[in-house]
Protein backbone atom coordinates (compact mmCIF):
# COMPACT_ATOMS: atom_id res chain seq x y z
CA UNK A 1 0.00 0.00 0.00
CA UNK A 2 2.18 2.81 -1.27
CA UNK A 3 -0.30 5.52 -2.30
CA UNK A 4 -1.84 8.13 -0.06
CA UNK A 5 -5.36 6.79 -0.24
CA UNK A 6 -4.30 3.22 0.53
CA UNK A 7 -2.51 4.48 3.62
CA UNK A 8 -5.52 6.58 4.57
CA UNK A 9 -7.88 3.59 4.24
CA UNK A 10 -5.55 1.55 6.45
CA UNK A 11 -5.73 4.23 9.18
CA UNK A 12 -9.54 4.15 8.98
CA UNK A 13 -9.61 0.37 9.13
CA UNK A 14 -7.33 0.31 12.19
CA UNK A 15 -9.48 2.81 14.05
CA UNK A 16 -6.76 5.46 14.21
CA UNK A 17 -9.04 7.77 12.19
CA UNK A 18 -12.79 8.17 12.29
CA UNK A 19 -14.90 8.54 9.12
CA UNK A 20 -15.08 12.20 8.11
CA UNK A 21 -16.64 13.23 4.78
CA UNK A 22 -14.53 16.37 4.27
CA UNK A 23 -11.33 14.56 5.23
CA UNK A 24 -12.20 11.74 2.82
CA UNK A 25 -12.77 14.22 -0.02
CA UNK A 26 -9.43 15.90 0.70
CA UNK A 27 -7.64 12.53 0.79
CA UNK A 28 -9.13 11.57 -2.58
CA UNK A 29 -8.11 14.93 -4.09
CA UNK A 30 -4.53 14.65 -2.83
CA UNK A 31 -4.33 11.05 -4.03
CA UNK A 32 -5.43 12.14 -7.51
CA UNK A 33 -2.87 14.96 -7.47
CA UNK A 34 -0.18 12.46 -6.53
CA UNK A 35 -0.95 10.36 -9.57
CA UNK A 36 -0.94 13.41 -11.87
CA UNK A 37 2.42 14.52 -10.48
CA UNK A 38 3.93 11.07 -10.91
CA UNK A 39 2.73 10.83 -14.52
CA UNK A 40 3.91 14.38 -15.23
CA UNK A 41 7.29 13.62 -13.70
CA UNK A 42 7.81 10.72 -16.09
CA UNK A 43 6.59 12.78 -19.05
CA UNK A 44 8.85 15.63 -17.98
CA UNK A 45 11.96 13.63 -18.83
CA UNK A 46 10.82 13.37 -22.46
CA UNK A 47 9.69 17.01 -22.49
CA UNK A 48 13.16 18.16 -21.46
CA UNK A 49 14.76 16.10 -24.21
CA UNK A 50 12.40 17.64 -26.76
CA UNK A 51 12.75 21.14 -25.35
CA UNK A 52 9.09 21.38 -24.41
CA UNK A 53 7.56 23.07 -21.38
CA UNK A 54 6.79 20.56 -18.65
CA UNK A 55 3.25 19.96 -17.42
CA UNK A 56 2.29 21.55 -14.11
CA UNK A 57 -0.67 19.84 -12.35
CA UNK A 58 -2.89 22.24 -10.40
CA UNK A 59 -1.90 22.52 -6.77
CA UNK A 60 -4.05 22.26 -3.67
CA UNK A 61 -4.91 24.66 -0.85
CA UNK A 62 -6.29 22.72 2.13
CA UNK A 63 -7.69 24.82 4.93
CA UNK A 64 -9.61 24.26 8.14
CA UNK A 65 -9.55 24.61 11.91
CA UNK A 66 -7.08 23.16 14.32
CA UNK A 67 -6.84 19.39 14.63
CA UNK A 68 -8.87 18.50 11.54
CA UNK A 69 -6.16 16.30 10.05
CA UNK A 70 -4.49 18.74 7.63
CA UNK A 71 -0.93 17.96 8.74
CA UNK A 72 -1.70 14.24 8.84
CA UNK A 73 -2.84 14.35 5.19
CA UNK A 74 0.18 16.41 4.24
CA UNK A 75 2.42 13.82 5.92
CA UNK A 76 0.80 11.05 3.90
CA UNK A 77 0.94 13.07 0.68
CA UNK A 78 4.63 13.87 0.91
CA UNK A 79 5.72 10.47 2.24
CA UNK A 80 3.95 8.54 -0.52
CA UNK A 81 4.60 10.90 -3.44
CA UNK A 82 6.85 8.89 -5.75
CA UNK A 83 8.91 11.62 -7.35
CA UNK A 84 12.40 12.76 -6.39
CA UNK A 85 12.04 16.49 -7.00
CA UNK A 86 9.71 17.32 -4.11
CA UNK A 87 10.17 19.52 -1.07
CA UNK A 88 8.21 19.99 2.12
CA UNK A 89 8.88 22.95 4.40
CA UNK A 90 7.07 24.90 7.11
CA UNK A 91 5.78 28.11 5.56
CA UNK A 92 7.46 30.38 8.11
CA UNK A 93 10.84 28.74 7.52
CA UNK A 94 10.31 29.08 3.77
CA UNK A 95 9.65 32.82 3.99
CA UNK A 96 12.74 33.31 6.17
CA UNK A 97 14.72 31.58 3.42
CA UNK A 98 13.09 33.77 0.76
CA UNK A 99 14.01 36.98 2.57
CA UNK A 100 17.59 35.77 3.09
CA UNK A 101 17.91 35.02 -0.63
CA UNK A 102 16.40 38.40 -1.53
CA UNK A 103 18.96 40.18 0.66
CA UNK A 104 21.78 38.38 -1.15
CA UNK A 105 20.35 39.24 -4.56
CA UNK A 106 19.97 42.92 -3.66
CA UNK A 107 23.67 43.06 -2.82
CA UNK A 108 24.40 42.27 -6.48
CA UNK A 109 22.53 45.41 -7.60
CA UNK A 110 21.44 43.53 -10.69
CA UNK A 111 17.82 44.64 -10.88
CA UNK A 112 14.65 42.94 -9.66
CA UNK A 113 15.69 40.26 -7.11
CA UNK A 114 12.46 38.20 -7.23
CA UNK A 115 12.92 36.39 -10.60
CA UNK A 116 16.37 34.94 -9.73
CA UNK A 117 15.18 33.96 -6.24
CA UNK A 118 12.13 32.19 -7.70
CA UNK A 119 14.35 30.42 -10.23
CA UNK A 120 16.69 29.22 -7.48
CA UNK A 121 13.80 27.97 -5.34
CA UNK A 122 12.24 26.15 -8.30
CA UNK A 123 15.46 24.44 -9.33
CA UNK A 124 15.02 20.65 -9.09
CA UNK A 125 11.56 21.03 -7.48
CA UNK A 126 8.31 19.96 -9.16
CA UNK A 127 6.18 19.92 -6.00
CA UNK A 128 6.54 22.40 -3.14
CA UNK A 129 4.52 21.48 -0.06
CA UNK A 130 3.91 23.87 2.86
CA UNK A 131 2.53 23.42 6.32
CA UNK A 132 0.48 26.23 7.88
CA UNK A 133 0.48 29.07 5.39
CA UNK A 134 -0.15 32.24 7.37
CA UNK A 135 0.78 35.84 6.57
CA UNK A 136 1.50 38.07 9.55
CA UNK A 137 3.58 40.90 8.16
CA UNK A 138 3.64 43.36 5.29
CA UNK A 139 7.11 42.27 4.16
CA UNK A 140 5.77 38.81 3.25
CA UNK A 141 2.52 40.18 1.88
CA UNK A 142 4.28 42.59 -0.50
CA UNK A 143 6.28 39.90 -2.32
CA UNK A 144 4.07 36.82 -2.23
CA UNK A 145 1.98 37.49 -5.34
CA UNK A 146 5.00 38.03 -7.58
CA UNK A 147 7.06 35.24 -6.01
CA UNK A 148 4.36 32.58 -6.28
CA UNK A 149 3.32 33.70 -9.75
CA UNK A 150 6.91 33.10 -10.82
CA UNK A 151 7.03 29.70 -9.10
CA UNK A 152 3.69 28.42 -10.40
CA UNK A 153 3.29 30.11 -13.79
CA UNK A 154 6.85 30.69 -14.95
CA UNK A 155 8.61 27.67 -13.42
CA UNK A 156 5.72 25.17 -13.40
CA UNK A 157 6.00 24.26 -9.71
CA UNK A 158 2.96 22.57 -8.19
CA UNK A 159 2.19 24.11 -4.79
CA UNK A 160 0.37 22.18 -2.05
CA UNK A 161 -0.32 23.93 1.23
CA UNK A 162 -2.33 23.75 4.43
CA UNK A 163 -3.68 26.74 6.33
CA UNK A 164 -5.98 27.51 9.22
CA UNK A 165 -7.63 30.21 7.11
CA UNK A 166 -9.61 30.39 3.89
CA UNK A 167 -7.70 32.17 1.11
CA UNK A 168 -9.86 35.30 1.43
CA UNK A 169 -9.08 35.46 5.16
CA UNK A 170 -5.28 35.52 4.73
CA UNK A 171 -3.68 38.73 5.98
CA UNK A 172 -7.14 40.07 6.80
CA UNK A 173 -7.00 43.72 7.94
CA UNK A 174 -3.25 43.71 7.33
CA UNK A 175 -1.27 46.83 6.46
CA UNK A 176 -1.38 47.61 2.73
CA UNK A 177 -3.53 44.52 2.14
CA UNK A 178 -4.38 45.75 -1.36
CA UNK A 179 -0.90 44.65 -2.43
CA UNK A 180 -1.73 41.14 -1.17
CA UNK A 181 -5.02 40.71 -3.02
CA UNK A 182 -3.37 39.48 -6.26
CA UNK A 183 -1.95 36.58 -4.25
CA UNK A 184 -5.45 35.56 -3.15
CA UNK A 185 -6.57 35.74 -6.78
CA UNK A 186 -3.59 33.58 -7.75
CA UNK A 187 -4.57 30.89 -5.22
CA UNK A 188 -8.16 30.83 -6.43
CA UNK A 189 -7.03 30.69 -10.07
CA UNK A 190 -4.16 28.19 -9.86
CA UNK A 191 -4.95 25.94 -6.86
CA UNK A 192 -7.89 23.73 -5.98
CA UNK A 193 -9.25 24.90 -2.63
CA UNK A 194 -10.56 22.22 -0.24
CA UNK A 195 -12.20 22.83 3.12
CA UNK A 196 -11.42 20.54 6.04
CA UNK A 197 -13.40 22.20 8.76
CA UNK A 198 -15.64 19.53 10.23
CA UNK A 199 -16.66 19.20 13.86
CA UNK A 200 -13.97 16.71 14.92
CA UNK A 201 -10.75 18.08 16.44
CA UNK A 202 -8.40 15.14 16.07
CA UNK A 203 -5.50 16.85 17.80
CA UNK A 204 -7.57 17.62 20.89
CA UNK A 205 -8.94 14.09 20.84
CA UNK A 206 -5.40 12.78 21.07
CA UNK A 207 -4.79 14.95 24.13
CA UNK A 208 -7.95 13.82 25.91
CA UNK A 209 -7.29 13.29 29.59
CA UNK A 210 -3.91 15.04 29.61
CA UNK A 211 -3.43 18.30 31.51
CA UNK A 212 -0.99 20.91 30.18
CA UNK A 213 0.64 22.10 33.43
CA UNK A 214 2.48 19.49 35.48
CA UNK A 215 3.91 20.29 38.91
CA UNK A 216 5.97 19.57 40.90
CA UNK A 217 9.01 18.52 38.88
CA UNK A 218 9.68 14.83 38.84
CA UNK A 219 9.29 11.60 36.94
CA UNK A 220 5.48 11.72 36.92
CA UNK A 221 5.42 15.18 35.33
CA UNK A 222 8.05 14.19 32.76
CA UNK A 223 6.06 11.11 31.82
CA UNK A 224 2.98 13.25 31.15
CA UNK A 225 4.65 15.66 28.71
CA UNK A 226 6.46 12.76 27.03
CA UNK A 227 3.04 11.21 26.43
CA UNK A 228 1.85 14.49 24.86
CA UNK A 229 4.76 14.45 22.42
CA UNK A 230 4.14 10.87 21.34
CA UNK A 231 0.38 11.31 20.98
CA UNK A 232 0.80 14.37 18.75
CA UNK A 233 3.60 13.03 16.58
CA UNK A 234 2.83 9.29 16.40
CA UNK A 235 6.49 8.66 17.17
CA UNK A 236 6.92 5.27 18.88
CA UNK A 237 7.71 5.79 22.59
CA UNK A 238 10.03 2.78 22.58
CA UNK A 239 12.31 4.69 20.17
CA UNK A 240 12.44 7.88 22.25
CA UNK A 241 16.22 8.23 22.02
CA UNK A 242 15.96 8.70 18.25
CA UNK A 243 13.38 11.51 18.18
CA UNK A 244 14.51 13.99 15.47
CA UNK A 245 16.06 17.31 16.44
CA UNK A 246 16.21 20.49 14.35
CA UNK A 247 18.13 23.72 13.84
CA UNK A 248 15.63 26.59 13.79
CA UNK A 249 16.71 29.56 11.68
CA UNK A 250 16.51 32.72 13.79
CA UNK A 251 17.70 35.01 11.01
CA UNK A 252 20.99 36.83 10.64
CA UNK A 253 22.88 33.56 10.41
CA UNK A 254 21.78 32.48 13.90
CA UNK A 255 20.20 29.12 14.65
CA UNK A 256 18.56 27.56 17.71
CA UNK A 257 18.99 23.87 18.42
CA UNK A 258 15.60 22.22 19.03
CA UNK A 259 16.29 18.99 20.97
CA UNK A 260 13.02 17.35 19.89
CA UNK A 261 11.24 18.55 16.76
CA UNK A 262 8.61 16.65 14.81
CA UNK A 263 5.34 17.46 13.01
CA UNK A 264 5.08 20.97 14.43
CA UNK A 265 5.84 19.91 18.02
CA UNK A 266 9.01 21.09 19.80
CA UNK A 267 10.44 20.24 23.21
CA UNK A 268 12.90 22.48 25.07
CA UNK A 269 14.37 22.87 28.52
CA UNK A 270 13.63 26.09 30.40
CA UNK A 271 17.37 26.58 30.71
CA UNK A 272 17.87 26.56 26.94
CA UNK A 273 15.08 29.07 26.34
CA UNK A 274 15.38 31.44 29.28
CA UNK A 275 18.78 31.07 30.94
CA UNK A 276 20.59 32.00 27.71
CA UNK A 277 20.56 35.50 26.19
CA UNK A 278 17.49 35.56 23.95
CA UNK A 279 15.08 38.17 22.69
CA UNK A 280 11.58 38.54 21.33
CA UNK A 281 12.63 37.69 17.76
CA UNK A 282 13.92 34.28 18.89
CA UNK A 283 10.68 33.48 20.66
CA UNK A 284 8.58 34.65 17.71
CA UNK A 285 10.54 32.31 15.44
CA UNK A 286 9.61 29.42 17.74
CA UNK A 287 5.96 30.54 17.93
CA UNK A 288 5.69 30.73 14.15
CA UNK A 289 7.41 27.41 13.50
CA UNK A 290 5.60 25.19 16.04
CA UNK A 291 1.93 24.72 16.90
CA UNK A 292 2.83 22.99 20.19
CA UNK A 293 5.75 23.68 22.53
CA UNK A 294 6.81 21.56 25.50
CA UNK A 295 9.02 23.21 28.15
CA UNK A 296 10.55 21.11 30.91
CA UNK A 297 12.19 22.18 34.15
CA UNK A 298 10.58 25.56 34.86
CA UNK A 299 11.90 26.49 38.34
CA UNK A 300 10.66 28.79 41.07
CA UNK A 301 12.36 32.12 40.50
CA UNK A 302 13.44 34.88 42.87
CA UNK A 303 15.22 38.27 42.71
CA UNK A 304 18.39 36.58 41.49
CA UNK A 305 16.49 35.19 38.47
CA UNK A 306 15.06 38.48 37.19
CA UNK A 307 16.63 38.01 33.73
CA UNK A 308 15.23 34.49 33.37
CA UNK A 309 11.81 35.72 34.54
CA UNK A 310 11.84 38.60 32.05
CA UNK A 311 12.72 36.26 29.19
CA UNK A 312 10.00 33.85 30.30
CA UNK A 313 7.45 36.69 30.15
CA UNK A 314 8.53 37.51 26.58
CA UNK A 315 8.41 33.84 25.61
CA UNK A 316 4.89 33.36 26.98
CA UNK A 317 3.71 36.50 25.20
CA UNK A 318 4.99 35.18 21.86
CA UNK A 319 3.41 31.76 22.36
CA UNK A 320 0.12 33.21 23.58
CA UNK A 321 -0.22 35.75 20.77
CA UNK A 322 0.36 33.02 18.18
CA UNK A 323 -1.99 30.56 19.93
CA UNK A 324 0.71 27.97 20.46
CA UNK A 325 -0.28 25.08 22.71
CA UNK A 326 1.99 24.94 25.75
CA UNK A 327 2.77 21.90 27.91
CA UNK A 328 5.18 22.19 30.81
CA UNK A 329 6.80 20.56 33.78
CA UNK A 330 7.30 23.13 36.53
CA UNK A 331 8.31 23.39 40.17
CA UNK A 332 5.01 25.04 41.07
CA UNK A 333 1.73 26.48 39.80
CA UNK A 334 1.98 29.66 37.67
CA UNK A 335 1.03 31.87 40.64
CA UNK A 336 4.01 30.57 42.63
CA UNK A 337 6.74 30.79 40.01
CA UNK A 338 7.95 34.37 40.55
CA UNK A 339 6.61 36.11 43.61
CA UNK A 340 9.47 38.47 44.50
CA UNK A 341 11.96 40.38 42.36
CA UNK A 342 12.07 43.03 39.64
CA UNK A 343 8.99 42.70 37.50
CA UNK A 344 7.15 40.34 39.85
CA UNK A 345 4.08 42.61 39.84
CA UNK A 346 4.03 42.64 36.03
CA UNK A 347 4.49 38.85 36.08
CA UNK A 348 0.87 38.60 37.23
CA UNK A 349 -0.19 39.24 33.61
CA UNK A 350 1.92 36.26 32.54
CA UNK A 351 0.26 34.15 35.25
CA UNK A 352 -3.13 35.10 33.83
CA UNK A 353 -2.04 34.11 30.33
CA UNK A 354 -0.56 30.81 31.51
CA UNK A 355 -3.84 29.93 33.20
CA UNK A 356 -5.85 30.89 30.11
CA UNK A 357 -3.55 28.74 27.95
CA UNK A 358 -4.66 25.70 29.95
CA UNK A 359 -8.33 26.28 29.11
CA UNK A 360 -10.37 24.26 26.63
CA UNK A 361 -11.29 27.43 24.72
CA UNK A 362 -7.63 28.34 24.18
CA UNK A 363 -6.71 24.78 23.23
CA UNK A 364 -9.42 24.83 20.55
CA UNK A 365 -7.90 27.83 18.77
CA UNK A 366 -5.86 27.24 15.64
CA UNK A 367 -2.16 28.06 15.47
CA UNK A 368 -1.83 31.77 14.72
CA UNK A 369 -5.59 32.28 14.97
CA UNK A 370 -6.97 35.40 16.59
CA UNK A 371 -9.05 34.70 19.65
Q: Is the pLDDT of residue 370 over 70?
A: no
For residues 105 and 56, membership in a common domain is answered with: yes
Distance of alpha carbon 214 from alpha carbon 83, whole angstroms: 44
For residues 228 and 183, membership in a common domain is answered with: no
Q: Give the DSSP H or E segment for 224.
A: helix 219-233
Would you tell me how many other CB atoms lie within 10 Å of the CB of residue 52? Answer: 11
**Res 2: pLDDT:** 64
126: containing domain = 4-195
Kindly report, residue by residue over 244-282, the tens digit of the pLDDT.
Answer: 888 888 878 889 999 999 888 999 999 999 999 999 999
Q: What percent of the chain has pLDDT over 70?
A: 92
Q: Are strands 325-330 and 260-262 parallel, antiparallel or unpaired?
A: unpaired
Kindly report, residue by residue over 193-251, the tens digit of the pLDDT.
Answer: 999 876 555 666 667 678 999 999 999 999 999 999 988 887 777 777 888 888 888 87
Task: Find, among 67, 68, 64, the residue nearest to 133 by Cα.
Answer: 64
Q: Which of 141, 175, 195 is the last residue of a domain?
A: 195
What CATH number is associated with residue 263? 3.40.50
Please check whether residue 260 lies inside any domain of the structure.
yes
**Res 41: pLDDT:** 81
For residues 139 and 245, membership in a common domain is answered with: no
Would you tell me how many other CB atoms lie within 10 Å of the CB of residue 293? Answer: 24
**Res 47: pLDDT:** 55
Distance of alpha carbon 63 from alpha carbon 74, whole angstroms: 12
Whether omega for the bond prior to residue 292 falls within 30 degrees of 0, making it cis, is no
User: Which range, of 87-96, 178-187, 326-335, averages the lowest pLDDT?
Assistant: 87-96
Please check whether residue 201 lies inside any domain of the structure.
no
Kindly report, residue by residue over 137-164, the tens digit of the pLDDT.
Answer: 888 899 999 999 999 999 999 999 998 8
Q: Which of 139, 162, 195 is the last residue of a domain?
A: 195
Would you tell me how many other CB atoms lie within 10 Å of the CB of residue 249? Answer: 17
Residues ≥6 apart with Cβ < 8 Å to 323 = 362, 365, 366, 367, 368, 369, 371
Please check whether residue 202 lies inside any domain of the structure.
no
What CATH number is associated with residue 107? 3.40.50.300
For residues 101 and 233, membership in a common domain is answered with: no
**Res 69: pLDDT:** 81
**Res 135: pLDDT:** 85
Q: Which of 146, 162, 195 is the last residue of a domain?
A: 195
Please check whether residue 331 lies inside any domain of the structure.
yes
Domain count, the chain: 2
For residues 224 and 355, membership in a common domain is answered with: yes
Burial category of 62 from C-beta neighbours within 10 Å (exposed 0-12, middle 13-18, buried 19 and up): buried
Task: Find, among 208, 349, 43, 64, the residue nearest to 74 by Cα.
Answer: 64
Please check whether residue 214 lies inside any domain of the structure.
yes
Amino acid sequence: MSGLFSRYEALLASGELRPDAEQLAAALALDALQRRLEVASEAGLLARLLGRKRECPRGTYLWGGVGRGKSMLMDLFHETLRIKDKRRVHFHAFMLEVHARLREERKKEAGDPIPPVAAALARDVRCLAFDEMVVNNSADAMIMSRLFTALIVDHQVTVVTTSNRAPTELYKDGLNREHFLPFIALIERELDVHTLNGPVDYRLQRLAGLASWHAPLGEAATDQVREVFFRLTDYPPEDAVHVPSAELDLGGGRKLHVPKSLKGVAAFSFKRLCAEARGAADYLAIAHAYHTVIIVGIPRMGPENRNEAARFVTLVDALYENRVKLFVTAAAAPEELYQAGDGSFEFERTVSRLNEMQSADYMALGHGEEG
